[in-house]
Amino acid sequence: MRDADHTRRVVITGLGILSPIGNDPASVWASLTEMKSGLGRITHWDPTAYSPYVVAGEIRNFDPAAWLDPKSIRRTGPEIHWGVAAAKQALKDSGLEITDANREEIGVVFGSGAGGQGLFIENQMAWKEKGPRSVAPTFIAHGLVDSTSGMIAIETGALGHNMAVVSACATGTHALGEAAEAIKRGDVTAVISGSTENPLIEVAHIGFMNMRGLGAPRDGEGPASASRPFDADRAGFVLGEGAGAFIVEDLEHAKARGATIYAEVVGYGSSADAHDMIQPVEGGAGAARSIKWALQRGKIDPSEIDMINPHGTSTPVGDAREALAFHSALGARAAQIPISATKSLTGHLMGAAGAVEAIFTALSLHHQTIPGTLNTRNVDPECNLTVTLETRQAPLRAAISNNIGLGGHNGAVVLRHWTGK
């Protein structure tokens, strides 16, 4: 552990991802740039009774045996399988080796919105149907929100600063921001950061449906049309599952080992609405604060922001209030900044959304390309935003990844294109 130095610079040197549009960064980037949807009819259980809310973003062709031993697979849920896989992907991508000499300098900051709720439901059902002896003695340890951060440490041998962040749909954003802060204050040299979520559980789907938060495909169109961020006829979000992971590293350490740098983490803001457990506060004031604070901490002027990956869930109220937050935080510039609303392709990955979308943002900066937004045909004039409808190349200096969570949690990170300086 070193002395705190808040001038220390932090960069992203490795990426890992499991998502409805791909199970590694390369395939994900191809899907993003080709605007290839990952939405389809739910297959985990029969959704017919919940028509027209039958669409989700599911992970396909994933084999946990490639990442975990059989005993660990049996004891843990999909959210841990995906989180560990994403973390190991990111480590390999970064070229960072964890050894006896450096393992105390490597941390883990990895979160989830709900953790292993599936394990709790399964064991509750086993108890009711078969009695107490059918309850797994290990399910509590593996079903907590911090279980993935613990498993990542076990699987990688990272002994440094370790914590789980939980702030609903802002979890992944906060995990990345807190990882950067841990490096700046000298706790660690590098952090395995990110988030994971397994929300496609039938009772959760019913709960969101009864909340009247879910959206359905346009009449006469297929599942891919269900998520329509900032569109005038948007109707609600679509659940998705996945995990995203970063290797976040001290810049000097990364340069010394010749690491590839995807982007620099220059600003981070976190705030509360203190208003309502479901609806964002009027005017988007809470989200505006976190964006303003992220810009201030990064010493970034709104004129330098060339892209925003928004929360953009496709709910009528949520998108409108997030748009107001952009206008409040960024002033007149907000109406011109290209918006890349990627939930149109993946659905809403809940606690994993912030990590996955920050990966999209880092890749956009790295490739100097803005992924297009699917399904947004008529941008709501009340939002007054420039939603990018087709993928295009563009000179990108800095970008914001923004997320908003149930309970009034807001998180924003500002990433900057790495130019070698």
Q: Give helix then strand counts, H and E, for the chain.
A: 13, 15
Contacts of residue 52, defined as CB under 8 A and 6 or more positions apart, other chains included, come to 216, 217
Q: Which of 348, 366, 409, 417 is catalytic?
A: 348
Q: Which of 169, 205, 253, 417 is catalytic?
A: 169
How far apart (Å, rounded) are the C-alpha atoms in residues 284 and 288? 6
Integer angstrom CA distances of residue 38 from 42, 184, 223, 266, 331: 11, 37, 9, 31, 34
Q: How far apart are CA 159 and CA 150, in angstroms?
A: 10
Q: Which of 311, 327, 366, 417 is catalytic?
A: 311
Helix (H) or strand (E) run with residue 24 in it: none
Task: Check residue 338 and report its DSSP letter.
Answer: E
Token pair for residue 249? 């590293």
Per the annotation, the verdict on 311 as an active-site residue is yes
Q: What DSSP designation does 382 have?
A: T
3-state secondary structure of 10: strand
From the list 290, 287, 291, the residue with the least C-alpha distance to 305 is: 291
Dist. CA 153–CA 159, nearest whole Å: 7
Q: Residue 133, exposed/middle/buried by CB under 10 A (0-12, 13-18, 19+)?
A: exposed
Integer Cα distance of 112 and 34 in angstroms? 29
Catalytic residue ranges: 169, 311, 348
